[in-house]
Amino acid sequence: MSSLLEAHQQERKCPAWLPAIICVLIAVSPITAAGAERTLFAFNPLPNIGEQATGSHPDGTLLRDASGALYGAAMLSGKYYNGTIFKLTPPAPGRTSWTMSVLYTFTGGFDGGLPNAGLVMDGSGALYGTAQEGGPWPNQGLVFKLTPPAQGSTQWKETVLHYFNHNYAEGIDDGSNPSGGLIMDQSGALYGTTDLGGNVADLSGFGTVFKLRPLNPEKTKWEESILYRFEGGIDGRNPMSRLTRDAAGAIYGTTLYGGTGGCADFLSDVIGCGIVFKLTPPASGQTTWTKTTLHNFSGGSDGSIPQGKLRFDAAGTLYGTTFQGGTGACTDTLLNVIGCGVIFKLTPPAPLHNKWTESVIHDFSGPDGAFPQGGVLVDSSGALIGTTSGGGPMSWGVLGSYGLVFKLSPPGAGQSHWTEKVLYEFDLSNGGDEPVGELIRDPQGHLFGVAFQGGLHLGGTVFEITP
C-alpha cells in the first residue's frame, strides 16, 4: 500500500461520534486501486460572470460518437437552472484539454427540465433523450430531439417528440416523468420508461414502458404507444433504468419496487424490493406485448432496488446491479443495516423450462464498494466492469465514502468465485463523488463516466479511467 493511501486512511479514522461497533463493521480494507484517473471536466454550479453556464450534476451514462466525442446530460444548473445537454470534444493533436460545448440549455417550460442521461444518436447525428419535468401539463416530462446545426450555424435545435400526460381525474393513461434514457432499434424507433403514470386506477400511476415510432423518413412526425402499464404490487412499480433489447426484439428491464419482496418504505408500508421483467413482442396479427417477471428480489442476500441497465453476455446471461441488499453491513442515515448492494446474474431457462435462475456473483461489503447505481460492462474475457456510488477502501463504508470503479473477473476452471479488483477510488475534490450510470469504453480500453457531484467546483465531473 502506498504511503499516500496510508496517509489518507489516517486522516479518515473513525470519528468520535460514530459508535465503535459500526466502525468495526465497516473497517477500512487493504484494497489498492489499480487504474489511473483523469478528470476531463469539472462542472461548476455557480459560474462567475462571463463564464459558460455548463450545468451541473451529470446524471448517468455518456454517449460516445465515432470521433471520440462524449455527449451527456447535466441535470441541474445551466443558464435557466434546469439542466443542459453537453458535448466534450477530444484534444486536438499536441493538446491535452478536452473542449466543453453546451448543445442545449433547458428552461423548465415547454422544452423540458431535468434531462436524463442515456442519449442515443441516429445516422444524421441527431440526439434523442428524455426530460423528467416540463411540458404543457404539470411537470410530467417529455421526449426530445436535438438536431445538429445547419451549415453556417452553431445552434442545435430542440424538437419535442412527445409530451407525457397522465391524468387520474380524466382517465388519461399515458406515462409521466421519465427517469431513464432511451434505446433505439434498427428502424429508428425509440424505447424508454416512465417512473410514474400509466395506471389510471392510481393517482400517480406505477410507471410504463413506451415506444416512439417515426412516421416519415424525415422523422418529423412520431407516434407514441404504451407497451406496458405496471399495476403495482407483485407486478412491479417505478421502472427507472434504461431498457435492454435482444435480437428477437424482446425488451428487458427492472423496476425499483414492487414484486413479492417484503421491503417497506419509511412509513413501514410494504412496497416490494423490485423485479426483473421481460416484454415479448406481439405474435403475428396481435398487438399486445406479454410481460413476464424473471426475478422477484427478496431484499435479503439476493439484493433489493435494482438500478442500471441490464447487460447480456454471449451466452444470453443477463447481468445487473442492485442499489441495496446483500449481506454487507452498510447502513442508512438512521444506522439501519440495508446492505451494500450486489451484482447478480440471471441464467436463461434450460430447454423445455421457463424459469430463469438468479445468482449473486458479488456481494459488496463497503470497503470494496457500496450502492451501485449503474449496470456493468461485459468485456471480451467475460469480466464485468462498473461503478459503485459509495464505499471504497479509504472510506468508512457509508459515511465519508465517494465510490469506486471495479472489475470482476470470472472464475477460473474448476472455481466458482469471481475476483474483484478496484480500478479507481474517488475522492471529493479531484475525481468527484458518487459515480453513477454505466461506463463506456473506447477501442483502447479506456473507460469514461460521470460523477454526480464533487470535483473542483463540487458540481460533478466527467472522468476517464486507464485500467
Per-residue pLDDT tens over the stretch 429-456: 778 999 999 999 999 999 999 999 999 9
> 435: which 3 cell numbers?
459515480
Over pLDDT 70: what percentage of the chain? 91
The Cα-based distances of 249 to 136, 243, 280, 295, 456 in angstroms read 33, 12, 7, 20, 43
- Structure pTM? 0.91
- C-alpha to C-alpha distance for 111 and 34, rounded to whole angstroms: 43
Report the b/e string of 199-223 with b at 16+ CB within 10 A: bbebebbbbbbbbbebeeeebeebe
β 63-64/433-441 pair status: unpaired
Q: Quick one: pLDDT at residue 21?
A: 35
- C-alpha to C-alpha distance for 57 and 76, rounded to whole angstroms: 6
Indicate the pLDDT class of residue 427, thresholds 50, 70 and 90: confident
Q: What is the pLDDT of residues 103-154, one digit of tens each?
A: 999 999 999 999 999 999 999 999 999 999 999 988 999 999 999 999 888 8
Indicate the pLDDT class of residue 35, thresholds 50, 70 and 90: confident
> 122: which 3 cell numbers?
441516429
Report, as an integer, the average pLDDT of 8-22.
34
Listed residue (213, 284, 292) closest to 251, CA to CA: 292
Consecutive H or E run containing 24: helix 20-25
DSSP state of 205: B
Indicate the domain borders of the chain. 106-241
DSSP state of 235: G
Is the pLDDT at 397 greater than 50? The verdict is no
Question: For 39, what's the count of Cα atoms within 13 Å in the CB-facing half-sphere?
Answer: 22
Q: Quick one: pLDDT at residue 353?
A: 87
Cell 396479427 belongs to 285
Question: For 139, what's the count of Cα atoms within 13 Å in the CB-facing half-sphere?
Answer: 9
Q: In the chain, how long is the greatest CA-to-CA distance?
A: 68
Q: Quick one: pLDDT at residue 334?
A: 85
286 close to 218: Cβ distance less than 8 angstroms: no
Q: Quick one: pLDDT at residue 7?
A: 32
SS3 per-residue string spanning 307-371: EEEEEECCCCCEEEEEEECCCCCCECCCCCECCCCEEEEEECCCCCCCCCEEEEEEECCECCEEC
Q: What is the pLDDT of residues 236-265, one digit of tens each?
A: 999 999 999 999 999 999 999 999 999 998
Consecutive H or E run containing 176: strand 175-176
145 CB-contact burial (10 Å; exposed 0-12 / middle 13-18 / buried 19+): buried
